[in-house]
Structure 1
Amino acid sequence: MELISGLPEDVARDCLIRIPYEQFPAVASVCKGWNTEIHSPDFHRRRRTTKQAQEILVTVQSNIDSEKTRTGLLAKSTTNPVYRLSVFEPKTGSWSELPLGPELAFGLPMFCRIAGVGFDLVVMGGWDPDSWKASNSVFIYNFLSAKWRRGADMPGGPRTFFACASDQNNQTVYVAGGHDEEKNALRSVLAYDVARDLWVPLPDMSRERDECKAVFRRGALCVVGGYCTEMQGRFERSAEVFDVATWKWGPVEEEFMDAAACPRTFVDGGDGAMYMCCGGDVVALQGDTWRNVAKVPGEIRNVACVGVWEGAMLVIGSSGFGEPHVGFVLDLKSWAWTKLVSPEEYTGHVQSGCLLEI
């Protein structure tokens, strides 16, 4: 059976890889051939190699109460915020919201972490929005079917404020550090094979790391900063790297960061450099040297989320507690900022985010 009647197979496939990701579920339901094609391993590869893949930033963002925003009562609200998944497409500047599954009908767990692998978005851990009890649950949203499924729970019990990073090629999510229900900082690291729904323990890190940050680059998991149980909020500058090929941790680099600070904005630039926001500056690590490359826009005093794609960095944050969250894009060549146009309903508090290439 032809994919598209009257067209050669290669031309038909060229048409299908140009479909926007939002239309994947509808296209897959047209016929068996289209469903098979869109779910084939080569489909994602062809979209990437032909530059048809779409970059999107998914954030864990609170719902906005428009009335409180207009009357200035947002910062004085005593009710617990309800978090959802917001999606921003840098190329088009459009915003949208992902539907939540039945088990998440009352909102995402507070302080949950998210990571993208292939066509899947993985939501891990966090606090139950009603009981505030820590969870080790895993939920997975598939962009091809627009459906949720439950993943295997994180082993070892609930952990909070852990780092996570994904390896798009191997369909693996890594979880590192954080703390347990007794607020003991953790050294343990886990790898989650999303396709097989299987968790595998990695060798422990050299030290406890609560509120650390992780990135996956060049075949290795890099875990940055954090603090041990006794230090409680006093961040350190160190980092350590796990080589997946050798299954070993390298030596700890004690002075990896230029300053002791929360590393949540630390990201891999994909251009050989790594970036983070620190003390009102955007700083870049190139080789062994950190340097200031830009000032964070004055409208952002608290940076909540940073994402980097080809030649650009997105920074989302607010001017203060309870204030609307706004976004700016930094051109990594000219170092010029452009403010995003954000509809009011997408200016809620952002807890975390991740970039996906779909």
Structure 2
Amino acid sequence: MIPGLTDDVARECLTRVPYNVFPALFSVCKLWRQELRDPTFHRFRKSTGIAQPVVVLVQPYSTYYNSLLHRFRKSTGGHDGSANPLRSTLAYDVAGDSWKPLPDMARKPFDCRGVILRGKFVAFDPAAGSWGPVEEFVPPGEELPTICIAGVDGNNYRCVGREVMVQLDGGVWATVAKLPSEMRVAMNAVAWEGKLMVMGLGMRNGALVAKSLDIKATTTMTTPASASASWRNVDVPPEYQWHVQVACCLVI
């Protein structure tokens, strides 16, 4: 892969290249492109501790925000032409680059979001090919749907009202932290190893506010310590002060 070096040494060199340089490496040669696309390479990179978590957000362009919302309401991606929710579901086959139909849900959801917990898409059982029951996540008196996040630690987290909660053994929910005072309401969240980032509307002008929380330092699975929660500010550039539609974390 690198003239004068064995493949093992060359792989060590490529492993240490920052992830944001990967696009340039893809164009160097075919062997490098194959190497960087190989899952074995990324597993090795992660084992060395060099891989970094990267939070990815999907937002609409601010100048087209209203038109995009209009298109969404008119599309069949979860809604019909009259913006009514649908029971139908689809699964995307990455290898085949195609959508495949799944069994209909028991009822029509509104603004639903999927959560993958412990390798299972809640609450669809791929082996049985059927939907199972799931707990309602909209407490009485709450107008906005609860945000549910599956942590890397295998636990289920949720933001409801002004509380961030974790589901303990036996299905009991316990408070991990209160939302930061600068945030009026949580709109989205993403978790990675030991961390949780919550994004929501600010108290002053409704601009996007992002805060991160060290879950390991805040939570024990027997006695969550909400009083000791310490939120860290995440700077949001002015050009990204818009609603986050989808958020995830990639380890690259």
CA contact (8 A) 2:185 2:200 kept: yes
1:197 is matched with which residue? 97
CA contact (8 A) 1:307 1:314 kept: yes
CA contact (8 A) 1:306 1:314 kept: yes
In structure 2, distance between residues paired with 1:322 and 1:349: 13
In structure 2, distance between residues paired with 1:264 and 1:213: 10
Select the structure with the greater relative contact order (CA < 8 A; seq sep ≥ 6): 2
Q: Match of 2:107, as an amino acid?
A: R
Deviation at 1:258, TM superposition (A): 7.2
In structure 2, distance between residues paired with 1:317 and 1:350: 9
Q: How does 1:44-55 map to 2 (within 5 A)?
A: 44-55=42-53
1:40 is matched with which residue? 38
Question: Over residues 39-81 of structure 1, what are the superposed CA-to-partner deviations in whole Å (9 max), with x where a residue is unaligned?
Answer: 2342233333434333212223466xxxxxxxxxxxxxxxxx3
CA contact (8 A) 2:117 2:155 kept: no
CA contact (8 A) 1:134 1:181 kept: no
2:157 is matched with which residue? 275
1:353 is matched with which residue? 247
Question: Over residues 81-101 of structure 1, what are the superposed CA-to-partner deviations in whole Å (9 max), with x where a residue is unaligned?
Answer: 33xxxxxxxxxxxxxxxxxxx
1:330 is matched with which residue? 213
2:221 is matched with which residue? none
Question: Over residues 243-281 of structure 1, what are the superposed CA-to-partner deviations in whole Å (9 max), with x where a residue is unaligned?
Answer: 12332223x24x443725544521001213211211111
DSSP 3-state at the match of 2:166: strand
CA contact (8 A) 1:213 1:264 kept: no
Q: How does 1:89-128 map to 2 (within 5 A)?
A: none
RMSD: 2.6
In structure 1, distance between residues paired with 2:138 and 2:208: 27
Q: 1:316 to 1:134 in 2, by over 3 A?
A: closer
Q: How does 1:316-327 map to 2 (within 5 A)?
A: 316-320=199-203, 322-327=205-210
Question: How many positions carry a matched residue from both structures?
Answer: 238
1:257 is matched with which residue? 137
Q: Match of 2:76, as an amino acid?
A: P
1:72 is matched with which residue? none
Q: TM-score, normalised by structure 1?
A: 0.60
DSSP 3-state at the match of 2:250: strand
CA contact (8 A) 2:146 2:160 kept: no
2:194 is the alignment partner of 1:311: yes
2:70 is the alignment partner of 1:132: yes
CA contact (8 A) 1:219 1:244 kept: no
Deviation at 1:322, TM superposition (A): 5.0
Q: TM-score, normalised by structure 2?
A: 0.82
Q: Which runs of 5+ in 2 are unaligned?
A: 219-228
